[in-house]
Structure 1
Amino acid sequence: MSRNSSGKKILKKTKRSSSGARTSKPAIFLLGFLLIVAGIFGVFYNPSNSIEETLPWELSEAGILSFSEREEPVFTIQETEDLYSPENPDSLKLVSFESGGGEVQALLRIPANASSSSPGVILLPGAGVSKEGEQGLAVELSKLGYATLALDQRNQGAINIEKDLELFRAGLEPVEYLMVYDVLKATDVLSAQPEINPEKLAVLGESNGGRFAIIACALDPSLKGVIGISTSGYGTEEIDPASVADAEAYKFYLSIDPDTYLSVLPPSKLVMIHSLNDTVISHELALRTFALAEEPKAMYNTTEETHGYTGSMRPYLEKELALLLK
């Protein structure tokens, strides 16, 4: 991670007093001692140094994020009424967990026949969609036998790249980094549930949620794979680094582009499901990301003029989740 730190050196010269007399030697020695102490204090308590020491993430030269070792998850959980599929015998729970200095809300849906060996899927909605809005897909997955943890992403999945770049330049944590970390903490929370087999976990994201899903899966080897629905990378890798005037901005853009992480994703599998007539993210962009990915990978296409999950995607979802979490 490239971070700016600043420090100032203060040089003082011995001056004659207004009467022309020199400052006494004891005073000079005392002043020198105080300057030394002040210098040591500045080294240890420089605010920029403190920021660097406390940041929980680093960035490689290739633009790939890494985070400090995560502590045990801290969360609360309580049963809640299932307003989204009341006829379903599922168990629905409201979860609140600590992540990156904040609280993340999620809905945990557990199939009625779940046991300690049930597989689990972390669900990341698209921008502007809440955990409640993702319950339609969660119910579909429950019918297939998968427990789900659907997150309320920060800003409901919306991003402000320029604001995050400002934070990055200041040596502070961009919100998008926090959003990736939230997914990693959600993995820990889901793993801790007694009904869930921690060795059978995957992450699924729609649209912008798919981008965070790919990055998180690349950073956490406990995840068996990632399914991206109606998503793609940004194509930052197509920019020639030699032609970039702002190296800091380029490195930041690399770090938030899921395409950057495709080389470190294996052995976890990438699955992409995309409509040929997607109304938000073109099929061509999805194909570019898929072409960059290494094996194991799979891609499926539908034809609706829409964006996000549709019923026609269900057979592909069922097939690939069975392969990922068998």
Structure 2
Amino acid sequence: MGIFGVIYNPSNSIEEALSWEVSKAGTLSFSPREEPVFTVQEIEDPYSPEDPDILKLVSFESSGENVQALLRIPDNAFSVPGIVLLPGAGVSKEGEQGLAVELSKMGYATLTLDQRNKGAINVDRDLELFRAGLEPVEYLMVYDVLKAADVLSVQPEIDPERLAVLGESNGGRFAIIACALEPSLKGVMGISTSGYGTEGVDPASVADSEAYRFYRSIDPDTYLSALPPSRLVMFHSFNDTVVPHDLALRTFDLAEEPKAMYNTTEETHGFTASMRSDLEKELAQILS
């Protein structure tokens, strides 16, 4: 039956009991989500003041916490596609606005999250929580992405039928898992990201089956078969300074169609200008 947990916070304006489960194969799932609860406030745009974008500060409830996000909407937008944007570890929603601005110029609205711990993870602590039947923070981070998609879908400027998720580095890992768990998302784009390689471990050789099941549950590679018909697109530099290219290629090779991968040569990690044209092309295909 797997591990089962419940989180309840009576301070929520909607009393949401969050249940989660991990199968014997290591696949995470959640109970059906309640309607999103959020606030929206239009603010000045100090990140790209020369552009006519509309910028809003969004606060939404997820698992008993208030998650902060920035909603960037192209000027005069009506029924535009929306993208949940996940920064890499250590990067705030404000620090991700450079890419959000580029996406706006392509005609896409973005909801950029402040992820818990700013996207950083503590795998050992999460394993302790898992063993105790308590919810690992990484599961909460996945759930935040799903709730963000719910919030984005009900904004008046957004076409709820044209949503995708994009993540950089560690954000790309959460993006892949969330897209596999949410069929309404048309695609996922991962920049400078990869899985952890648990697909290559023989379960029969594992001494600690519970630890193996947990590691499987946080590995994007575990969820690749559940992505179709959503499209997976990966962008990676041959000379990435953080996530080696061969790890990204391993994840891509495991994925099923539809998929695409684009490679660059810069010695850097994350989005680069050389990725822009291919990103624009892929977004047009996914969110047309």
The TM-score range, normalised by the shorter chain, is: over 0.9
| Residue in 2 that maps onto 1:42 | none
Q: Say if 2:71 is the partner of 1:108.
A: yes
**Distance change >3 Å, CA 168–CA 204, structure 1 → 2:** same
Deviation at 1:267, TM superposition (A): 0.5
| Residue in 2 that maps onto 1:270 | 232
Distance 2:7 2:110 in 1: 38
Q: 1:69 aligns with which of 19, 26, 32?
A: 32
Aligned partners of 2:3 and 2:21 also within 8 Å? no
| Residue in 2 that maps onto 1:98 | 61
Superposition pairs of residues 1-326 of structure 1, within 5 angstroms: 2-3=2-3, 56-115=19-78, 117-326=79-288
Distance 1:50 1:317 in 2: 38
Any idea what the Cα deviations from partners look like across 1:277-316, whole Å, max 9, x if unmatched?
Answer: 0000011000000000000000000110000000000011
Aligned partners of 1:221 and 1:268 also within 8 Å? yes
Distance 1:114 1:302 in 2: 32
Q: In proportion to residue count, which structure has more helix?
A: 1
Deviation at 1:56, TM superposition (A): 1.0
Letter in 1 for 2:130: F
The Cα RMSD (Å) is 1.5
Distance 1:204 1:274 in 2: 14
Any idea what the Cα deviations from partners look like across 1:245-285, whole Å, max 9, x if unmatched?
Answer: 10000000000000000011101010000001000001100
Deviation at 1:49, TM superposition (A): 9.8
SS at match of 2:262: strand
Aligned partners of 1:273 and 1:313 also within 8 Å? yes
Any idea what the Cα deviations from partners look like across 1:6-46, whole Å, max 9, x if unmatched?
Answer: xxxxxxxxxxxxxxxxxxxxxxxxxxxxxxxxxxxxxxxxx
Distance 1:306 1:68 in 2: 39
Distance 2:58 2:3 in 1: 35
SS at match of 1:114: coil
Aligned partners of 2:73 and 2:104 also within 8 Å? yes
| Residue in 2 that maps onto 1:16 | none
SS at match of 1:270: strand
Distance 2:164 2:89 in 1: 20
Aligned partners of 1:275 and 1:301 also within 8 Å? yes
Aligned partners of 2:6 and 2:18 also within 8 Å? no
Aligned partners of 2:63 and 2:140 also within 8 Å? yes
Letter in 1 for 2:64: G
SS at match of 1:56: strand
SS at match of 2:186: strand
Deviation at 1:50, TM superposition (A): 9.8
Aligned partners of 1:3 and 1:170 also within 8 Å? no
Residue-pair matches, total: 280
Aligned partners of 2:20 and 2:28 also within 8 Å? yes
Instruction: Provide the identity percentage.
Output: 79
Q: In proportion to residue count, which structure has more strand?
A: 2
